[in-house]
Structure 1
């Protein structure tokens, strides 16, 4: 590690049991770990409900970005993992809700499963500070 790289921590971090840092700041960039619909207590939020999971996922992203001293307006890259590409239209709507033009670069892909079987979406982002 260099003195330009530092972990971003959260009080009561729900990812701690998985041995994952919420994010790392390297220089002027913040790299978030994949965020999913995991509540502050570590429980799955919105099992079986894509909309609820997407809202919780973005709430988690906002929380980690705030801990790093940045926000959604400074996100430059998004990677979205879906367990069902039929939810892609909701992703387009989400981009319009949580981001503003110019929109971040984006990669969206369908995966067979995520780390926990109840999860329907996971998103990681890169932001500037």
Structure 2
């Protein structure tokens, strides 16, 4: 089965030769989504809540471009600059995700793709309405 690349507009990952998402065999693999705004810059430096909200918005957009959605996520990996912000993700999960909640790994990292980024979310989801 061929790989299908999801395309978003704008797509800030094009210069880096990275796909926002790839669909293969009924699964969507979404690249790590950070708080990039439509202008290609990280929004709200230093504001974890606003960055996390934008990262979820970008995740939603990439999933929709791949023919899926947040309700189809089976696994997320969340990278945090500070594990101290992990507790605030519970409220965000309620806002963006619904039961059954996806399996998840959370990792604290010293840096992300931009020094201003505080969170990055990658996901694996099912395609369509399977």
TM over 0.5: yes
| Structure 2 residue aligned with 1:110 | 108
How far residue 13 of structure 1 moved from its aligned partner, in angstroms, is 0.8
How far residue 46 of structure 1 moved from its aligned partner, in angstroms, is 1.1
Which of 5, 8, 11 is matched with 1:7 structurally? 5
Between the aligned partners of 1:121 and 1:11, the Cα distance in structure 2 is: 21
How far residue 55 of structure 1 moved from its aligned partner, in angstroms, is 0.7
Between the aligned partners of 2:30 and 2:45, the Cα distance in structure 1 is: 23
Secondary structure of the residue aligned to 1:103 is coil
Q: Which runs of 5 or more residues in structure 2 are unaligned?
A: none
Between the aligned partners of 2:2 and 2:113, the Cα distance in structure 1 is: 30
Task: Name the count of aligned residue pairs.
Answer: 127
Between the aligned partners of 1:20 and 1:39, the Cα distance in structure 2 is: 17
Between the aligned partners of 2:16 and 2:38, the Cα distance in structure 1 is: 14
Using the size of structure 1 for normalisation, the TM-score is 0.94
Q: What are the Cα deviations for residues 81-126 of structure 1, in whole angstroms up to 9, with x where unaligned?
A: 0000110111122122211111100000100110110000000001
| Structure 2 residue aligned with 1:56 | 54
Using the size of structure 2 for normalisation, the TM-score is 0.93
Which of 23, 44, 47 is matched with 1:46 structurally? 44
Q: Which moved more, 1:7-16 or 1:23-32?
A: 7-16
Contact 2:73 2:125 in 1 (8 A): yes
Q: What are the Cα deviations for residues 29-56 of structure 1, in whole angstroms up to 9, with x where unaligned?
A: 0000000001122111111100110010
1:92 pairs with 2:93:
no
